[in-house]
Every structure is written in structure tokens, then in C-alpha cells.
Amino acid sequence: MRFLLFLLMLTNPLHADGIEVDVELFLAVDVSRSMQPYELEIQRQGYAKALTSPEVQAAIGGGMLGRIALTYVEWAGAGNQRVIVPWTLIESADDAAKVADHITAFFDTGLRRTSISSALIYAATSIETNAYMGLRRVIDVSGDGPNNMGPPVEAARDDVLARGITINGIPLMTQDDGIFSHWNIPDLDVYYTRCVIGGPGAFVLPVTEWSAFASSVRRKLVLEIAGLEPRIVPAQAHVQQPYNCLIGEEIWERNRGVFMQP
């Protein structure tokens, strides 16, 4: 297995002069207006705790090269991406702690709308133009609702997959009954599975309670960094039933002008 990964590294034409790492990991974190301030803080704290956990540190150290490259970017509508942690090399506990400190030191309010498609295209371009050359390249996208702005999410996903980048998802199925519930869908995990994720070993790890967020992120990062097959049903194994990947755009049009924008 490691020999095959080594061959992949040698034949990968991207970033030929870049720093070699086991994985280039783009953390795309939803901060759309439907996310409450306390939820934004739970997300930041959850990622920080996961990155400094013994399990994630062991996964990083257990790679063929023993180092990864990571960036943490918050996203919302089309054109709304905030780079909180630029591409950073992590090969020690101290490196991870510095990234965690940076994540938790930043706080700002949410942004409008939800464009998963724009976040995916932004992430893929960032991966292709950074200073690293990964054996694997992964976009890790979280979100609490379907795409309702920008290009159709299926087209964006297919474009990213064509570049050889895997997309994993963490649908946040924790919505309350407030005004933003009008933009929710009850099967967000199915939406992510059918419309967002893809690539070798791609998987969805839903979060239904905020109390489980930190442990879910830790598990997800271990799987992504170590390149392990998830002990959950991978995307490729799902029976392909018809699904409307434009559901978010349709809900937005129905509610447009009636409620405040998410």
C-alpha cells in the first residue's frame, strides 16, 4: 500500500516542486447566517480540540511522511470565503497546537446565504495552487443546509472530482425551529451523500447533536489523515435513487422575500 502511495507521489504532476505531505486537507467550515454564534464557537472549539487530540496526532505521525498540510476556511455565500488558517505544515504536536490557537482566537459573525458549490471550487483551486504535494488531496466540508446560491452543487462536485480531489462531508443536522428552519431539509445527510461528496473512500458523517460535534470531527480527521476506510457506509455503496440536488435553490425561491435571508 505504501509503495503504491509512493508511486502516486512520484507520478502526480501537480506541485512538482512542492513540499511532500501525506495529505493536503482543506477544512471548509460553514458560517452562513443560519448558524448561531454559539454554534460557530462550538465548531471552532471542536476543530481545535480534534487537531490537538492524541488520536489525530497519532494519525499524522503514522503516515508515510509523518506530516500533512492543512488550511481552515470559513464559507457562506458565493464569494464569501474567509481564510482563518492559511496552508500550514503540521508535523508535530506544537504545529497542531499553533493552528488550534489560531482557529479559536478568531471570531466573527456569520455571513449570508449558502453556496457549497462556490466553497468546493474555491477549495479545489486553493489545493492546486498551494506549496504542497500530497499523496492524497481532500476537501472536508461541513454545512447545515443545502446549496442555495452559486453554481449547481452537482456540477461543482463533478469538476472537483475530475481534478482527483476527494470530498467528504459533515452535515450539521442540529437545526432548531427558528426562522431559519424554513430553509432546512430533513434528509441533509442524504443530500450530502447524493449531491456533495465523492472520490475514493468518500464518506458522510452526520452530526445530530452539538454535544457530539468534537468527537465526530476527531473521528473524521483520523479517517482522512490516515486514509482509512470508514466503518460507515461509504458514498459509493449507497443505492442510487433519484434525488433533487436543486432542492436548496427551490426552497430559497419559495421563501424569497418572505423571511430574512439566511
Render pLDDT for 119-148 as a digit per residue (tens, 0 to 9): 999 999 999 999 999 999 999 999 888 998
Can you give the pLDDT at residue 183?
A: 60
Please state, for a pLDDT cut of 70, what percent of the chain lies above it: 80
pTM: 0.86
What is the C-alpha to C-alpha distance for residues 38 and 28, in angstroms, rounded to an integer?
18
Q: Identify the CA nearest to 186 among candidates 247, 97, 103.
A: 247
Please state, for a pLDDT cut of 90, what percent of the chain lies above it: 57
pLDDT(207) > 70: yes
Which residues, 6+ apart, have CB-to-CB distance to 113 below 8 Å?
32, 33, 76, 77, 78, 80, 148, 149, 261, 262
Q: Please answer whether residues 118 and 150 qualify as being in contact, where contact means their C-beta atoms are separated by less than 8 angstroms.
A: yes
What phi and psi values does residue 186 have, to the nearest 5 degrees? Answer: -75, -20
- CATH for 18-255 (2.60.40.290, 3.60.15.10, 3.40.50.410, 3.30.70.1380): 3.40.50.410
Q: Average pLDDT in the 191-203 region?
A: 93
Render pLDDT for 213-232 as a digit per residue (tens, 0 to 9): 999 999 999 999 998 876 66
Distances (CA, A) of 161 to 85, 94, 123: 24, 33, 12
Say how many C-beta atoms besides its own lie within 10 A of residue 189's C-beta: 18
Is 242 exposed, middle or buried, given 0-12, 13-18 or 19+ CB atoms closer than 10 A? exposed
